[in-house]
Amino acid sequence: MRHFPVFLDTRESLIVVCGGGACAVAKLRLLLKTEAQVDVFAPEAGPEVEAWAEEGQLNLFRRDATINDIAGAILLYAAHDDEAQDHEVRRLGWAANVPTLIVDNLEASDFITPAIVDRSPVTVAIGTEGSAPVLARKIKAEVEESLPDALGPLTALGRDFRPHAERIPQGRRRRDFWSEFYFDYGPKTLPFGEEAVNDALHAAVARFERDEERPGHVHFVGAGPGDPDLLTLKARNIIHEADVVIHDGLVPQAILELARREATIISVAKSGFGPSWSQDDINALLVEHGASAQVVRLKGGDGGVFGRLDEELDVLAEAEISFSVIPGITAAAAAAAAIGVSLTRRGRNSALQVLTGRDLEGFADHDWEKLAQPDTVAAIYMFRSAAHFICGRLLMHGADETTPVTIVFNASRPDQHVVATTLRELPSAFEGPKGPAVLLFGIAPRDVAARGAHSQRSAALQGA
């Protein structure tokens, strides 16, 4: 981090801008939001600057600045759009020891002005060390969208109300109180005026003082196949609120980072380095935290698909701990999306089988005869170590060895990789990156399928 962000107090201070053209205007738009006195030095100033001077928003001096003009300023801007003139200002800045910014010259500048989202008193500053202004603009747009306009006035009202809120015990209850204010009744009552908001705040304090401590709760949340954008909104909001997050190995870091900084994050990945968690240990952990905290149990994909969800729900029901289930996008759905085909199709397959290659006993047994039927489509999870076995069983029961098989590794993740093959080639074909992979039996990717259809059509034409 070469540039360290700080918020400067601009009360009773001076900011000097040298230049009066377009470049200066862009900076002045921001600087005029501050409480500083703004002095502009420009032998020739554009109409906006003249107008601001007219309105008394800044002091305009129709000449170049001297060292005396900038002595004591907290910031100095060189915004001439002219290298030689800006260089002169840079020299003044050094001489007077005032932090100086040369517009569009990062190397010669002492600081940078970030992109700003202004919901005063909430201010969000976004910096990319000058390297990606496009990115900064995009982030700014997103932040603006996620911070309601009402946030500014609400924050000001909330700040004044803070002493009253101290009657609510600190920690989760106090956070809940403020969260309801900012995102629920605050925005709703603001249109009725400040007094209405204050009344609502007092009523909420009374309610929070009276109510029992919120009991623990476990949210079972499907984290989806890996791409954080494929989380549901509900999942995102619940993760934000959690006290404790207990997650499987499949859940990527980017999703875990949605949790609050104070949240306790516990990995219960069943393999890999570190201690391995048994299902009993996980169950005990859920009961321990679920008794008093807001717990998010994060599982890859959808918790209800090969996620041992039922077992964990049973344990909580037994312990009389409340829970809810939030579904997620399962790997098969993400894999089908990756190859541009649907999992069912009129005239092709009216059923989809969802299978696992492994179960508690080892290789999972299935109704191979039924699976070997021509129109079968199946999504096979955890198939890697069982690939030979599955292939052998299917062929033994008469499956067509040219049945299309598609393996999608790391569906929806940056290292997503697709292997399109046939049943016959399967055992030798599943070289691919590390990470989870799902096998789609009876489905070819759209481009391969299109080529196949084409060659079938040309064969038919040749036959005619």
Task: Specify the stretch interacting with ligand SAH by CB under 6 A; choose among 158-166, 284-292, 326-334, 448-456.
Answer: 326-334
CB of 42 or CB of 251, closer to ligand SAH? 251
Distance of alpha carbon 312 from alpha carbon 115, whole angstroms? 46
Peptide bond into 436 cis (omega under 30): no
Whether 270 is catalytic is: yes
Under rule CB under 6 A, residue 16 binds ligand SAH: no
Task: Determine the size of the site formed for ligand SAH (CB under 6 A).
Answer: 24
Q: Could you give the angle at the alpha carbon of 143 between the alpha carbons of 137 and 148, nearest 5°?
A: 135
Task: Specify the stretch interacting with ligand SAH by CB under 6 A; choose among 49-57, 115-123, 328-336, 446-454.
Answer: 328-336
Q: How far is the CB of 457 from ligand SAH (least distance, A)?
A: 32
Distance of alpha carbon 31 from alpha carbon 308, whole angstroms? 57
Question: Please, which residues have CB within 8 angstroms of residue 407's CB and are 6 or more apart in sequence?
Answer: 418, 419, 421, 429, 430, 432, 437, 438, 439, 440
Structural contact between residues 69 and 62, judged by C-beta atoms closer than 8 angstroms: no
- Residues facing 274 on adjacent strands: none
Between helix 309-318 and helix 279-290 the angle, nearest 10°, is 50
Whether 248 is catalytic is: yes
Q: How far is the CB of 3 from ligand SAH (least distance, A)?
A: 37
Distance of alpha carbon 316 from alpha carbon 303, whole angstroms? 15
Distance of alpha carbon 252 from alpha carbon 258, whole angstroms? 11
Site string for ligand SAH, 283-322 (x = CB under 6 A): ----------------xxxx--xxx---------------
Distance of alpha carbon 40 from alpha carbon 372, whole angstroms? 81
CB of 173 or CB of 413, closer to ligand SAH? 413
Which residue in the set 283, 330, 403, 406 belongs to the binding site for ligand SAH (CB under 6 A)?
330
Q: How far is the CB of 330 from ligand SAH (least distance, A)?
A: 3
Instruction: State which residue has the least CB distance to ligand SAH.
Output: 301
CB of 19 or CB of 436, closer to ligand SAH? 436
Site string for ligand SAH, 355-384 (x = CB under 6 A): --------------------------xx--
Under rule CB under 6 A, residue 411 binds ligand SAH: yes
Under rule CB under 6 A, residue 406 binds ligand SAH: no
CB of 70 or CB of 231, closer to ligand SAH? 231
Report the residue count for the chain.
464
Catalytic residue, candidates 138, 234, 270, 370: 270
Distance of alpha carbon 426 from alpha carbon 391, whole angstroms? 7
CB of 79 or CB of 394, closer to ligand SAH? 394
- Considering only residues 412 to 431 of the shown chain, the ones binding ligand SAH according to CB under 6 A are 412-413
308-316: long-range contacts (C-beta < 8 A, 24 or more apart)? 308/279, 309/220, 311/279, 311/283, 312/220, 312/282, 312/283, 312/286, 313/220, 315/283, 315/286, 315/287, 316/218, 316/286, 316/287, 316/290
Q: How far is CA 426 from CA 323, 352, 429, in A?
A: 41, 20, 5
Q: How far is the CB of 289 from ligand SAH (least distance, A)?
A: 21
Question: Please, which residues have CB within 8 angstroms of residue 217's CB and are 6 or more apart in sequence?
Answer: 290, 294, 295, 321, 322, 323, 324
Catalytic residue, candidates 39, 69, 86, 248: 248
Q: How far is the CB of 211 from ligand SAH (least distance, A)?
A: 36
CB of 100 or CB of 330, closer to ligand SAH? 330
Site string for ligand SAH, 432-461 (x = CB under 6 A): ----xxx-----------------------
Site string for ligand SAH, 198-227 (x = CB under 6 A): ---------------------------xx-
CB of 93 or CB of 226, closer to ligand SAH? 226
CB of 103 or CB of 382, closer to ligand SAH? 382
Distance of alpha carbon 240 from alpha carbon 233, whole angstroms? 11
Q: Where are the alpha helices (DSSP H) in 131-278?
A: 133-146, 151-165, 172-180, 186-189, 194-210, 233-241, 253-256
Residues that bind ligand SAH (CB under 6 A): 225-226, 250, 299-302, 305-307, 330-331, 334-335, 381-382, 408, 410-413, 436-438
Please list the active-site residues: 248, 270
